[in-house]
Amino acid sequence: MNQRSYLSIGDVLTLLRSEFPDVTISKIRFLESQGLVSPQRSPSGYRKFYEEDVERLRYVLLQQRENFLPLKVIRDRLNDGEALGAEGDATEEAKDAVEEATVLAEVPIAAVPAVVPRSEPRRETSVADVLAALQEAPVVSGAPPVRRPDPRPEPEPRVAPPAPPADVLTAEELSEQTGLTLAEIASLEEYGILRSTRIAGLACFSPHEVAIARAAQAFCAHGVEPRHLRTFRTSVDREMDLYEQLMAPLLHQRNPEARLRAADSVEAMADAGRTLRTAMMTAAVDRLLGR
């Protein structure tokens, strides 16, 4: 078995064809003549490709296929501007033709030494590289012409945001109707007593929230801070959790009649809950006052 540490041009062709089916020995010779790769020579004049050379070829082919970069840009990025001399004569081309004919005769891929990619980091594509690629990209026959965007597109007409519904109030309007300050309204929202809805970028309050705000203002008038009203929200949330658990079997059904029965049951239990709270609160107040 051949234990050489380098690859011939035929070995390189076999190695790269799985990733780049269109590559040929003539293509590799052309890239060498353009200074993209500079393989060493054996005493008999054959090219000797090492890992660095194969990785340079793979990088060049990838940049041409994926980014359409011109060879000049690729060469400058690989060699930092250092031009490489072109090589090749009639005798070398004859030797390459012999190697290419050998490759086409089903050379086993396993016989080609594995090439470990180099660890040198690759540079990112710059804006200048992309512009150069667009200028020098090949033109495909029969392809539709590229449409350039209009440099001065017409501005889109501005659509006025929808106005809030007539039955909701903004924070300023809620303050005027209830006597709460804007700071108190914000604090009531912070502790979950009031819950607003964003409409056209404004915090809006439904009629239900307006009723809650009026009740909260009565507490604020007696020196009760919004954070002390959190217990009422907690009590309501727990009561609704109870109703949801009881009505879950009906609410999960797709039958409209089942959902109607669930709605009737929840409303009936809510009415009973209000009656129960009123009765319990009356009894508690009487005990507090010693009645």
- Confirm whether 9-116+129-135 and 163-226 share one CATH topology: yes
CATH number of the domain at 9-116+129-135, please? 1.10.1660
Q: In the prediction, which pLDDT does 220 show?
A: 85
Distance CA 173, CA 287 (A): 40
pTM tops 0.85: no
* Paired tokens of 90: 């009639």
Highest-confidence segment of 89-98, 118-127, 186-195:
186-195
Query: Which of 264, 268, 262 has the alpha carbon at shortest distance from 246?
Result: 262
Confidence of residue 275 (pLDDT cuts 50, 70, 90): confident
Residue ranges per structural domain of the chain: 9-116+129-135, 163-226
Helix (H), strand (E) at residue 31: helix 25-33
* Paired tokens of 95: 């030797």
Task: Report phi then psi at 41, rounded to 5.
Answer: -120, 140
Over residues 134-190, the pLDDT tens digits come to 444 444 444 555 565 556 666 676 766 566 677 889 999 999 999 999 999 999 999
Over residues 53-77, mean pLDDT: 92
Across the beta sheet with 197-199, the strand order is: 169-170, 202-205, 197-199
- DSSP, collapsed to helix, strand or coil, labels residue 48 as strand
Fold of 163-226: Multidrug-efflux Transporter Regulator; Chain: A; Domain 2 (1.10.1660)
Confidence of residue 106 (pLDDT cuts 50, 70, 90): very low
